[in-house]
Structure formats: C-alpha cells, structure tokens
Structure 1
Amino acid sequence: MPVLMVFLGGMIGAPVRFLTDRFVQSRHDGVFPWGTFAINVSGAFILGAVGAGVAHHHLGANVSLLLGTGFCGGLTTFSTFSFETVRLMEDGSLAEAGLNVVGSLAFGLGAAALGFALVGWL
C-alpha cells in the first residue's frame, strides 16, 4: 500500500507541475524561471502543512505518503531548479541566478514554516 500511495501522489503531482509551470511562465517575459520558483515554494508550503498534520493531528501514514512523498515529490523539482540556475549563469544572468538560489531557499523555508505553523495552529 505505501508504494501505491507514493505512485498515485506522484502521478498527480508531476502533471500539476508541468501545467503550473507552463501557466506561470507564460505570464512572464523575463529570463527568471517563475514557474519553477512558484512550484517549489508551493510544494514547500504543502509539505510543511503535511508535516504539521503528522506531528500535531495524527495524519495517517498513507495520507502522508500520498501528499508528502508522492504529490510533493512529483510536484517539486530540484533538478529543474538546478538546471535553470546553471542556464541563467551560462547566459550571463548572474543576478537572476543568484536571486533564484537565495529566493528559492528563503521563500521555500518560509513557506514550509508557514504551512507547518498554520496547520499546527488549526
């Protein structure tokens, strides 16, 4: 059952990532990868919320695997973040590359903490 939960979550998360990235990126003209940024920050928020559900509200293991490991694992993407950052550096967009790294880390940690705090508070 655990493998099925991870599989189902990933099966939903991966297309959501693809569609969200295309939607967000189509609304921005610059070189900054807003789609991946938005996806990774959103995924951090969701994972923080799932973590609080486990820690404070006895969220079941199957739901945690479905949402945390499967959905968030399929949704978020460290490899695309890394590739896009390297591409920005190679194209000479060093400020954007630095903003992507620092911003992703800061906003991702903040979003995870916010998700954890909100669900823990409920």
Structure 2
Amino acid sequence: MKYLLFIALGGAAGSVARYSLSLWTQSVWHSVFPVATLLINITGSFAIGVVFVLLERHLLHPDWRSILAVGFLGAFTTFSTFSLEVVTLWESGQATQALIYMAASMGLCVLGAGAGIALTRTLA
C-alpha cells in the first residue's frame, strides 16, 4: 500500500512539472512542432538514467524507485502524447515534420538516458 502512495505522490508532482514545463516551452517557442513534448521526453530520459544509476549503486533507498521512476517520471514523460502528435502531424500532411519528430525523439531520448547513466556513474 505504501508503494501506491509513493507512486501517486510522485505522479502528481510529475504531472504538475510536465504541465508547467509545457506552458513555459509554449511561451518561448511558438511553433507547430511539438517542442514541449520533445523537451519533456529528453529530460525525462536523462533523469531516468540518473535515477537508475543512483538505485544501482544503492545511493537512493529502493522506495525512491516508486516515487521517482514510476511515479514522477511516469507522469512527466509523455510517450502517449508523442504518439498522438506524430499521427496528428502525419494526418495534417506534415509527413516530413512527423518523421523528423519521431527520429529526434527516439534518438535524443535514448542519448538522454545514456548521458544520464554515464554522467551519474562518473559522479556517484
């Protein structure tokens, strides 16, 4: 039961962080291209790499996995939104934008996770 509470608290914080970052991003970049979702997925991928190493090295209590990785980052990252945005771009006749967005999201998010792991392994 405690893990459900941890996940719920982390999820609430992740949702608010996602919404706030999305609003800020939209105020900075006025674009049809879904910059907010891309930025959220890159930073979330980096963060999950950091959390992974901190848990792996026992620098975080295992309970933090529920709070951070499952709750916060599960709510913060937006893969379902990403999928919908790709389809929407494609259906609106912007196939090139859809393909660029897919490649950038997948490539940069994997690099983000790898960078988070590498950096944290170096520092921790």
For normalisation by structure 1, the TM-score amounts to: 0.94
Runs of 5+ unmatched residues, structure 2: none
Distance 1:7 1:29 in 2: 32
What is residue 84 of structure 2 aligned with on the other side? 83
What is residue 101 of structure 1 aligned with on the other side? 102
User: Which residues of 2 match residues 54-73 of structure 1 at below 5 A?
Assistant: 54-73=55-74
Q: Deviation per CA, 1:24-66: give whole Å up to 9, x if none.
A: 0222232110000000111001101000111124421111211
Distance 1:120 1:92 in 2: 43
What is the one-letter code of the residue matched to 1:51?
F
Does structure 1 residue 111 correspond to structure 2 residue 104? no
> Percent identity among equivalent residues?
35
Runs of 5+ unmatched residues, structure 1: none
The number of residues matched between the two structures is: 122
For normalisation by structure 2, the TM-score amounts to: 0.93
Q: What is the SS of the residue equivalent to 1:43?
A: helix
Q: Please report the RMSD computed on the Cα atoms of aligned residues, expressed in angstroms.
A: 1.1
